[in-house]
Copies of this chain bind each other. A is one copy, B any other.
Amino acid sequence: MSKTIKKIGVLTSGGDSPGMNAGIRSVVRTCAFHNIECVGIVQGYQGMIRGEFIPMDARSVKGIINKGGTILKTARSKDFRTKEGRQKAYENLKQEGVDALVVIGGDGSFTGAMIFSSEFDMPVMGIPGTIDNDIFGTTHTLGYDTALNTVVEVIDKIRDTASSHDRLFFIEVMGRDVGHIALNVGVAGGAEEILIPEENLGLDRLLESLHRSKNSGKSSSIVIVAEGDKIGKNVFELKDYVDEHMSEYEVRVSVLGHMQRGGSPSCFDRVLASRMGVKAVESLLEGKSNFMVGLLNDVMSLTPLDQAIKGQSKINLELLRVSDIMTT
């Protein structure tokens, strides 16, 4: 039987994503609803080690549901990778009276949470917060939907200038290990090709595709490139390569970068964050631990943290085919 939980700590960790604030708000208000205390932990595990805690009541999260970033800040913590760091963190939590943790973050953050929870008697629940959507056990991570819209709006803008000048653009979007963002914004942005980590199109087929596109009467084109694509060249080298092998296009590059992490969360991400915060806190109150809250078949569900970490988030192969058909 689990001990009674009287105070929950919440933190954000790893890269920030839109919806993290909405998640914090939900955790805090669900605690208030159940009459338990809540403290925010500043800068993730780093703040746990430094003992930086902020008491949070229902009013303290007022007006943040629509704000990007995270009011609790986030950081990567080297110290938390040491036993001494985690020991210090545990002592701080005990002194503060924290009985359980909600960790909003990605893979790395969950690994830390699992180790911590196994070493000390501290129930933990994870909420997947990352724009990359690279977590197993949920169809959507917090911030993913917002990032998709952010990127698509930028592609629309680049399309304006691409077609005015009859240019070819390589647009690099986030996604080191998975191509979710690239694949979806590629379809939504009407891209000619989509280069993702899961597939190596090859330079020959890329050229072929661009030639075919040009011949079919298109005067401008957009190619979406995920950071982690496997074609063997970065986006600037790709430009040079195409410049060399195709005189038909003026080629340009755009690297979207960090803007993809910011912005006011979409309706979907705000609702998802609200649901996840409720599920995380109530699962802790039910005595559960070491799970990640996720959205599966539109329903809140729990996946053991170790599975969430080890499992692979797979791209929707159907979308690759849809993309091919759309570029007919």
Interface residues, chain A, with chain B CB atoms under 8 Å away: 12, 15-16, 18, 20, 25-26, 29-30, 32-33, 43, 58-59, 62-63, 65-70, 73-75, 139, 145, 148-152, 154, 156-166, 169, 184-185, 187-190, 216-218, 252-255, 257-259, 261-264, 266-268, 270-271, 274-275, 278, 297-298, 300, 316, 318-319, 321-322, 324-326, 328
Contact = CB atoms under 8 A, between A and B. Distances in A.
Contact of A68 (B20, B32, B152, B157): B157
Contacts of A255: 255, 257
Within the oligomer, what is the number of copies of this chain?
4
B266 A161 contact: no
Contact of A158 (B58, B59, B157, B258): B258
Contact of A156 (B66, B163, B258, B300): B66
8 contacts: A33-B328, A59-B216, A59-B217, A66-B190, A68-B157, A68-B160, A149-B268, A160-B261
A152 B326 contact: no
Contact of A328 (B32, B267, B298, B300): B32
Nearest to A148: B267
A231 to B, nearest CB: 21
Contact of A160 (B16, B148, B166, B271): B16
Question: Secondary structure of the A side of the interface?
Answer: helix
Contact of A267 (B184, B257, B297): B184
A16 B157 CA distance: 12
A318 to B, nearest CB: 7
A216 B33 CA distance: 13
Contacts of A70: 164
B267 A258 contact: no
Contacts of A154: 259
Contacts of A316: 298
A267 B185 contact: yes
Given A165-B73, A187-B271, A259 B266 contact: no
B271 A319 contact: yes
